[in-house]
């Protein structure tokens, strides 16, 4: 019975990965008009995700299933806890309108379990976390340099819109969906493989299918948001953004590294913005929001999985009380700081205190 619950949560998680993440890969192509039909864009996305999972998703599945904590401690109950922690973190973030990386929240949930059992492959974890920083930084500089070259040629009138750009943009979006399949499907099925509920081939096929279904059935809103409600990009800009993110994530997947595609793409977009508008891009709230998300998302899922282990497996209520007290203290301190800032602003504006 527990195995079916774990599988059900994993497939629900996979569908949400498809809806919130994989569908975004075709957003630029759809928003620019390269693909005019939303269903066609989502269909191409679903096919790309499935192919990416089946062809190149195995190495990341191995990392998620046993590269961070030993497979010997992974039980069906722990799989359920890991999946609940990761899925609930994404769900809460979706309610708040905050885009999170599925790789970060899944790794965070696994680390929470490892901390509860005091068993972690620290070197492997530090290796993964290092690339969470390195890959986005590389994306930033690639797009910065590429953007400088692009805008130079555009400024000289030597780079005009051509039909070839339409096809290249669609190809780049498909490749980005392919790379998402290579990397993100593992987040849903890796814990199942770790508990021997599924084999690696079964996991990547079933996970890939459900991520594709999620993109096809639930991804239209994300597609519309990314493609038409956020800043629109020229086709040449879209080609740079999608192809850079896809190449970096695909290379990471070959080496079994779960990396945050959302952060890679966001860093690339920031690099392109700096190339176009200068360093003032860093003053925008969206950039500050992205940096905060990088820190908060894995820590949040880590805390949830740790508390669930302590509560339901070890019945360690003292640890739960300590964690809850720390959380209340942090939230209270943040609220107090906000009140102090507002009072200071009122004092400066009106020339008086309360």
CB atoms under 10 Å from CB of 231, counted, come to 9
pLDDT at 254: 94
Q: Which of 1-5, 18-22, 344-348 has the lowest mean pLDDT?
A: 344-348
Q: Which residues constitute the domain of residue 322?
A: 318-354
| 270/330 same-domain check | no
Same domain? 214 vs 329: no
Name the residue with higher pLDDT: 232 or 157: 157
Mean pLDDT estimate for the chain: 85
326 and 297 co-located in one domain: no
In this prediction, residue 352 carries a pLDDT of: 47
Q: Over the stretch 179-213, which tens digit does the pLDDT of each residue have?
A: 999 999 999 999 999 999 999 999 999 999 999 99
User: 332 pLDDT band (50/70/90 cuts)?
Assistant: confident
pLDDT higher than threshold 80 for residue 34:
yes
Q: Is 335 found in the same domain as 240?
A: no
Q: Is the pLDDT of residue 9 over 90?
A: yes
Give me the pLDDT at residue 94, please.
Answer: 61
Among the ranges given (4-18, 28-42, 107-121, 137-151), the one the predictor scored with the smallest mean pLDDT: 28-42
302 and 340 housed in the same domain: no
Residues 306 and 347 placed together within one structural domain of the fold: no
Q: Looking at residues 234-262, what average pLDDT do you find?
A: 91
Give pLDDT, residue 149.
Answer: 93
pLDDT digits (tens, 9 = 90+) for 46-101: 999 999 999 999 999 999 988 899 988 999 999 999 999 998 887 776 666 566 78
Q: Residues 183, 330: one domain?
A: no
pLDDT over 60 at 297, yes or no: yes
Statement to judge: residues 23 and 112 lie in one domain: yes
Burial class (CB in 10 A: 0-12, 13-18, 19+), 247: middle
- What would the pLDDT profile of 149-160 be if each residue is shown by its tens digit? 999 888 887 777
Given a cut of 90, whether residue 44 has pLDDT beyond it is yes
Looking at the structure, tell me whether residues 269 and 156 fall in a common domain: yes
| Domains identified in the chain, total number | 2
Lookup result for tokens 């008086």: 352
* 152 in the same domain as 249: yes
Provide mean pLDDT across the span 251-276: 87
3-state secondary structure of 138: helix
**Of the candidates 183, 188, 71, which has an alpha carbon nearest to the alpha carbon of residue 132?**
183
Burial category of 151 from C-beta neighbours within 10 Å (exposed 0-12, middle 13-18, buried 19 and up):
middle
Stronger pLDDT, 237 or 220, i.e. the higher one: 237
pLDDT at 354: 42
Mean pLDDT of 288-306: 80
231 and 323 in a common domain: no
Do 207 and 125 share a domain, yes or no?
yes
Q: Over the chain, what HEC string results? A: CHHHHHHHHHHHHHHHHHHHCHHHHHHHHHHCCCCCCHHHHHHHHHHHHHHHHHHHCHHHHHHHHHCCCCHHHCCHHHHHHHHHHHHHHHHHHHHHCCCCCHHHHHHHHHHHHHHHHCCCCHHHHHHHHHHHHHHHHHHHHHHHHHHHHHHHHHHCCCCCCCHHHHHHHHHHHHHHHHHHHHHHHHHHHHHHHHCCCCCHHHHHHHHHHHHHHHHHHHCHHHHHHHHHHCCCCCHHHHHHHHHHHHHHHHHHHHCCCCCCHHHHHHHHHHHHHHHHHCHHHHHCHHHHHHHHHHHHHHHHHHHHHHHHHHHHHCCCHHHHHHHHHHHHHHHHHHHHHHHHHHHHHHHHHHCCCC
């Amino acid at each position: 019975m527990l195995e079916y619950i774990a599988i059900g949560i994993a497939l629900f998680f996979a569908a949400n990965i498809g809806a919130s993440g994989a569908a975004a890969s075709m957003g630029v192509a759809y928003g620019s008009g390269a693909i005019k039909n939303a269903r066609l864009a989502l269909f191409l996305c679903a096919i790309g995700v499935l192919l990416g999972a089946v062809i190149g998703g195995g190495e990341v599945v191995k990392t998620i299933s046993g590269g961070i904590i030993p497979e010997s401690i992974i039980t069906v109950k722990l799989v359920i806890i890991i999946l609940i922690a990761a899925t609930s973190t994404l769900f809460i973030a979706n309610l708040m309108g905050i885009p999170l990386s599925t790789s970060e929240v899944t790794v965070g949930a696994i680390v929470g379990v490892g901390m509860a059992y005091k068993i972690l492959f620290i070197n492997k974890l530090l290796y993964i976390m290092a690339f969470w920083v390195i890959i986005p930084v590389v994306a930033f500089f690639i797009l910065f340099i590429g953007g400088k070259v692009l805008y130079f040629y555009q400024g000289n009138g030597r780079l005009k819109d051509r039909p070839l750009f339409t096809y290249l943009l669609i190809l780049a979006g498909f490749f980005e969906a392919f790379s998402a399949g290579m990397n993100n499907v593992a987040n849903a099925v890796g814990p199942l493989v770790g508990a021997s509920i599924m084999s690696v081939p079964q996991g990547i096929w079933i996970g890939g299918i459900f991520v594709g279904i999620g993109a096809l059935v639930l991804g239209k809103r994300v597609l519309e948001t990314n493609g038409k409600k956020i800043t629109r990009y020229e086709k040449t800009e879209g080609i740079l953004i999608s192809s850079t993110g896809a190449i970096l994530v695909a290379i990471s997947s070959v080496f079994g590294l779960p990396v945050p595609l959302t952060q890679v793409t966001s860093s690339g977009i920031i690099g392109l913005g700096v190339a176009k508008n200068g360093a003032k891009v860093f003053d925008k709230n969206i950039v500050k929001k992205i940096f905060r998300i990088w820190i908060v998302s894995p820590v949040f899922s880590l805390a949830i999985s740790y508390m669930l282990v302590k509560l339901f497996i070890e019945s360690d209520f003292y640890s739960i009380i300590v964690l809850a007290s720390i959380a209340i203290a942090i939230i209270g301190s943040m609220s107090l700081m906000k009140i102090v800032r507002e009072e200071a602003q009122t004092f400066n504006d009106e020339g008086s205190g309360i």
